[in-house]
Amino acid sequence: MAASRSTPDSVTRRSGRSWRSLWRRGPWAGLATLLLVLALDRVALAPDGPLWQRWERPARDWSPATRGIVADRKTLRELREIGPAAETAVVLGNSRAAASLRSRLAEQAEPTRTYRMIAHARIGLFEMLSAAERIEPLDIDLGILALSEFDLFRAERPRPESGHCRWGAMGASARWLGPRVVFRHRRHFLQLAAACSLESYSTRLALHRAGLDAWREFDGSLVARTTEASVETPPPPTSFFPRAARSTEQKQEQRQEALQARRRLFAEASAAFPELPADGIRFQVRHALRLYRGAHVAYNRRLIERTIDTFLEGGNRVLLVEPPLHSTVRRALDPALRQEFLRYAESLAEQDGVDLLRLEESGPFDDSSFADLTHLHNQRGAIQMTEAIVERIRRMPRSADAQPP
Amino acid sequence: MVFNSLEFAAFFCAVFCAYWCLPRRAQNRFLLVASYVFYGAWDWRFLGLIVLSTGVDFLIGRALGTAPDAGRRRLLVTTSLVVNLGILGVFKYADWFSASFAALAGRFGWQVDSFTLGVVLPVGISFYTFQTLSYTIDIYRGELEPSRDLLDFALFVAFFPQLVAGPIERASRLLPQIHGARRFDLESLETGGWLVLWGLVKKVVIADNLSLLVDAVYAQGAEPTATQIALATYAFAIQIYCDFSGYSNIARGVAHMLGFRLMVNFDLPYFARGPSDFWRRWHISLSTWLRDYLYIPLGGNRGGRIATYRNLLLTMLLGGIWHGAAWAFVAWGLLHGAWLAIDRALRATPRAPLPLTRLSTWARMAVTFHLVCLGWVFFRAGGFLHGAGLLAGLFTPWSLADVGPWLPSFFHLILPLALFELVQEATGDHFVVFRLPFVLRVVVYTGLCAAVVLLGQDFGQPFIYFQF
């Protein structure tokens, strides 16, 4: 056997079949597979597809990075079921919105309206635009966008495996970024394209957790020991835009300053929230101090504006909400960034159908409203924020009045 | 641009469509440009090395074809060896030799500053250097006619499916395919597609997932128990096989779709019945290269027992060093050389032949697999001392409880592979999947596609052999 095996030319089929007809010779099985895979992806893995619904339950509980996929798809399904009969408000935002707004409480305060959330940790502006594109045809009444300087000044690339990726958002992004940036980040854009095309690709992280883990992951105890995260080592930047060129000395200086700022905020936050785990505080500190001015701000602005336009073009009203921050983080942030964000938010609110709710100054919040540095995740803060939003919605003009002429 | 990336998928789709629309001569030129683009996507600066190697060997090949006397021919082939091995030495081994010399001098109390170039290892340099060397040596031996077309020869050196990690093709196989006409063939499309799909499953589903376990246990500073080391070593044996043979499958599949036939690089190596059989099945393009251009010129098995053992040891030692500039690879090569020598000695000893029962065949496979795994410890550890420490760790108490949570994932990943390869081995047919009825084949393909998307690690993880 070894003699026949070692022949390097043994690349031809040895099945002994003759391939006389085109039917026999053609790659028809491959073609059929391709069609079957696409059909399964479109039909079975759509938010209301049978395969997805089977996987949804075990996929529900996981880290913030993937929890959104399952919850958001469920929300989209519910919105489709609710239909245009009811007045519906959809909240788009990150974990600050998710933790702070109580939809059931809002519905009790305003029984004629249904509240749904597409809000979770790590959602970015690109994902919010993609979600808006999915929501827009569903005849909702009001889009609530929770935005702050964290969204405007953070430079992050969209995540292909977030469950939210639409060709419209990707095409617009490619146009705004220009061919050079798209070419430089071609690998990322190809992943985004795959996520736009295949449900299985854009939701694969959640699907992994739906009973497939046993196939592919090992207990991470040893890995955890060797890759310990700390406040000293921020994650590598994943922006479309490189930071402005700096000399080595400048880089060193800025790195030192950033490290000092992270250490200072970490110490203050640890004192303010002694009951919180250090890892959680480290994450928030790193997250909070990654705001800066640069070319990414213009891109972020376009994403925000396009999201608002998407809602307005669908005849929906938009409420921009600026969630409050704990005073410890507020002191650590550059006040000029906040001023710039507020000016921008006010300019957006000048459009018909768009309203702005600035909760930090006008809201009834103090440090006791916070569960941690950024989240109003206790009874008091979340109730206060929900009440403030419902109150503002009541005072907003109705949809018909908001339609542009 | 690695084979398991979406970037490569887009690149190949574009190349495939354009390629089959062109006439034959233009096809070769187009493939050459595509190959340079493919390689340049890593680091365009290293394209210069390929061009240099191509130019030198083409000219030497031409000169060898017309050189009248043996002395001049020897001079020419020596020049080719010096240039090619010189490039390899500078980029791959200079820092290691320098650091090793400084360390050795330090042992004797001499203070020597180690001189390091600090250059990045160009991807695929070991593969294309051996490929071009085989070309000039074959012409020198009179076994090959020199190529007359520089651009065709450049394509032979840089052909993108096998440029970065082989198979190390011989000019006598690949150049005629480049010179000759190629025909678009629907059957090749399915054969190539199957090879690509199966290669992707091996790489992104099996190898990349197993790497999580292997990396954790083999990490510097980790303190694994004996059972964890053993399981991680088995996992690495499967990982490196799936990683490299997966790459080779994709390379062959891609070439197949372009009308080229690359050599089989892996032939179910873990079913080998002994060390010699293992090397007939593992990285066949390298083992046959070492046999033809090193072992046989050293004398092969024609100089008596001791000379044969020496030749085996030397060949495998150089095979180990070919993999990388580290003492761990030296140890790995020597281990394999020693096993080949012992295997040959045992086979030469007159004794009653063992009955060839199924049980004895399986026993021989098991022994061979474990000997190979022993070598993998050094290979994966990367350092001789680290590898030796891990081997020592195997002699501490064993407890299945240490690996309990890992076993389900481990078996989920390797059992389908083992079953499929068992069928391949039993039937002697690598393409046994084509014997299935149409519907069943579609089911298998669909299952594998789903596995790649749902069970695969992130696309674009590099292949292990790219570092060599």
pLDDT at residue B221, as a whole number:
72
3-state secondary structure of B5: coil
pLDDT at residue B378, as a whole number:
85
Residue A170, both tokens: 């990707």
Contacts of B228 in chain A (CB under 8 A): 222
CB distance from B298 to chain A under 8 Å?
A: no
Closest Cα in chain B to A194: B6
Q: Evaluate whether A293 touches A337 at the Cβ level (below 8 Å).
A: yes
Q: Do A226 and B221 touch (CB under 8 A)?
A: yes
Out of A19, A208, A214, the one facing B412 most closely (by C-beta) is A214
Residue A85 Ramachandran class (φ > 0 left, ψ -120 to 50 alpha, else beta): alpha
Positions of B marked catalytic: 323
Q: What is the pLDDT of residues A108-124, one digit of tens each?
A: 888 888 888 888 888 88
Q: Do B455 and A32 touch (CB under 8 A)?
A: no
pLDDT at A229 over 50: no
Q: Which helix (H) or strand (E) holds A62?
A: none
Average pLDDT in chain B: 86
Q: What is the pLDDT of residues B400-434, one digit of tens each?
A: 877 777 888 888 888 999 999 999 988 888 888 88
3-state secondary structure of B122: coil
Residue A319, both tokens: 């409420």
pLDDT at residue A404, as a whole number:
45
Per-state percent for chain A, helix, strand, coil, to nearest 5: 60, 10, 30
Of the pLDDT bands very low, low, confident and very high (cuts 50, 70, 90), residue A23 is: low
Of the pLDDT bands very low, low, confident and very high (cuts 50, 70, 90), residue B459 is: low
Q: What distance in Å separates residue B442's CA from the closest CA in chain A?
A: 5
pLDDT at A73 over 50: yes
Q: Which helix (H) or strand (E) holds A121?
A: none
Q: Do B431 and A13 touch (CB under 8 A)?
A: yes
Q: What distance in Å separates residue B219's CA from the closest CA in chain A?
A: 8
Of the pLDDT bands very low, low, confident and very high (cuts 50, 70, 90), residue A19 is: very low
Closest Cα in chain B to A13: B431
List Cα–Cα distances, B298 to A214, B277, B302, B319, B330, in angstroms.
Answer: 51, 21, 9, 14, 19
The stretch B95-100 carries a mean pLDDT of 72
Contacts of A210 in chain B (CB under 8 A): none
pLDDT at A18 over 60: no
Q: Evaluate whether A137 touches A314 at the Cβ level (below 8 Å).
A: yes
**B281 vs A214: CA distance, rounded Å:** 32
**B341 vs B367: CA distance, rounded Å:** 16
Q: What distance in Å separates residue A359's CA from the closest CA in chain B?
A: 40
The stretch B28-36 carries a mean pLDDT of 93
Out of B205, B261, B405, the one facing A11 most closely (by C-beta) is B261
Q: Do B216 and A30 touch (CB under 8 A)?
A: no
Q: Is the ipTM of this complex over 0.85?
A: no
CB distance from B255 to chain A under 8 Å?
A: no
Closest Cα in chain B to A191: B6
In percent, how much of chain B has pLDDT > 70?
94
Q: How many beta-carbon pairs under 8 angstroms link A with B?
A: 149
Q: What is the pLDDT of residues A155-207, one digit of tens each?
A: 888 888 888 889 999 999 999 989 988 998 888 899 899 889 888 888 877 77
pLDDT at residue A2, as a whole number:
35
Q: What is the pLDDT of residues B325-349, one digit of tens each?
A: 778 888 889 989 999 998 888 887 7
The stretch B288-312 carries a mean pLDDT of 88
Pick the residue with more confidence: B155 or A281? B155
Per-state percent for chain B, helix, strand, coil, to nearest 5: 75, 0, 25
Residue B170 Ramachandran class (φ > 0 left, ψ -120 to 50 alpha, else beta): beta
Q: Do A217 and B409 touch (CB under 8 A)?
A: yes
Q: Which helix (H) or strand (E) holds A284?
A: helix A278-288
The stretch A26-52 carries a mean pLDDT of 85
Q: What is the pLDDT of residues A334-390, one digit of tens each?
A: 888 888 999 999 999 888 888 888 877 766 778 888 888 888 876 778 888 888 888
Q: Is the peptide bond before A8 cis (omega within 30 degrees of 0)?
A: no
DSSP A241-255: SPPPP--HHHHHHHH
Q: Report the range of poorest mean pLDDT among A27-41, A127-141, B93-107.
A: B93-107
List Cα–Cα distances, A307 to A93, A317, A320, in angstroms.
Answer: 12, 12, 11
CB distance from B109 to chain A under 8 Å?
A: no
CA neighbor of A314 nearest in space, from A90, A146, A75, A101: A90
Out of B9, B212, B264, the one facing A218 most closely (by C-beta) is B212
CB distance from B292 to chain A under 8 Å?
A: no
CB distance from B288 to chain A under 8 Å?
A: yes
Of the pLDDT bands very low, low, confident and very high (cuts 50, 70, 90), residue A399 is: low
pLDDT at residue B443, as a whole number:
92
Q: Do A219 and B405 touch (CB under 8 A)?
A: yes
pLDDT at A311 over 80: yes
Q: Do A29 and B442 touch (CB under 8 A)?
A: yes
B81-89: which pairs have CB atoms within 8 A and are 24 or more residues apart?
B81/B133, B81/B136, B83/B52, B83/B53, B83/B56, B84/B53, B84/B56, B84/B57, B84/B129, B84/B132, B84/B133, B85/B129, B85/B133, B87/B49, B87/B52, B87/B53, B87/B125, B87/B129, B88/B125, B88/B126, B88/B129
**A131 vs B172: CA distance, rounded Å:** 57
pLDDT at residue B248, as a whole number:
93
Interface test with A, best of B227, B453, B458, B461 (most A CBs within 10 A): B453
Closest Cα in chain B to A29: B442
Q: Do B267 and A190 touch (CB under 8 A)?
A: no
- Which of the 8 DSSP states describes residue B454? I
pLDDT at residue B351, as a whole number:
67
pLDDT at residue A208, as a whole number:
65
The stretch B171-193 carries a mean pLDDT of 87
Of the pLDDT bands very low, low, confident and very high (cuts 50, 70, 90), residue A11 is: very low
pLDDT at A307 over 90: yes
Closest Cα in chain B to A19: B187
Q: What distance in Å separates residue A167's CA from the closest CA in chain B?
A: 17
pLDDT at residue B445, as a whole number:
92
The stretch A204-215 carries a mean pLDDT of 64
The stretch A53-81 carries a mean pLDDT of 74
Window 8-27 of B: residues touching A by CB (8 A cutoff) are: 9-10
Q: Do A27 and B288 touch (CB under 8 A)?
A: no
Closest Cα in chain B to A36: B446
Q: Do A198 and B285 touch (CB under 8 A)?
A: no
pLDDT at B386 over 80: yes
pLDDT at residue A17, as a whole number:
47
3-state secondary structure of A318: strand
Pick the residue with more confidence: B405 or A275? A275
Of the pLDDT bands very low, low, confident and very high (cuts 50, 70, 90), residue B435 is: confident
pLDDT at residue B189, as a whole number:
87
Interface test with B, best of A218, A221, A226 (most B CBs within 10 A): A218
Residue B421, both tokens: 């390869």
Window 409-438 of B: residues touching A by CB (8 A cutoff) are: 409-410, 412-413, 428-432, 434-435, 438
pLDDT at B201 over 50: yes
Q: Do B428 and A6 touch (CB under 8 A)?
A: no
Q: What is the pLDDT of residues B346-366, one digit of tens each?
A: 887 766 666 667 788 888 899
Interface test with B, best of A18, A222, A238 (most B CBs within 10 A): A222
CB distance from B186 to chain A under 8 Å?
A: yes
Q: Do A218 and B213 touch (CB under 8 A)?
A: yes
Q: Do A27 and B173 touch (CB under 8 A)?
A: no
pLDDT at residue A26, as a whole number:
66
Q: Report the range of poorest mean pLDDT among A220-229, B50-59, B198-207, B223-232.
A: A220-229
Out of B6, B224, B441, the one facing A29 most closely (by C-beta) is B441
Pick the residue with more confidence: A4 or A166? A166
**B73 vs B341: CA distance, rounded Å:** 34
Q: Do B430 and A14 touch (CB under 8 A)?
A: yes
CB distance from B79 to chain A under 8 Å?
A: no
pLDDT at B174 over 50: yes
pLDDT at residue A227, as a whole number:
43
pLDDT at residue A405, as a whole number:
38
pLDDT at residue A310, as a whole number:
92
Q: What distance in Å separates residue A216's CA from the closest CA in chain B?
A: 6
Q: Do A187 and B5 touch (CB under 8 A)?
A: yes
pLDDT at residue A63, as a whole number:
56
pLDDT at residue A15, as a whole number:
42
Average pLDDT in chain A: 79
CB distance from B361 to chain A under 8 Å?
A: no
pLDDT at residue A193, as a whole number:
92
Closest Cα in chain B to A25: B187
CB distance from B184 to chain A under 8 Å?
A: no
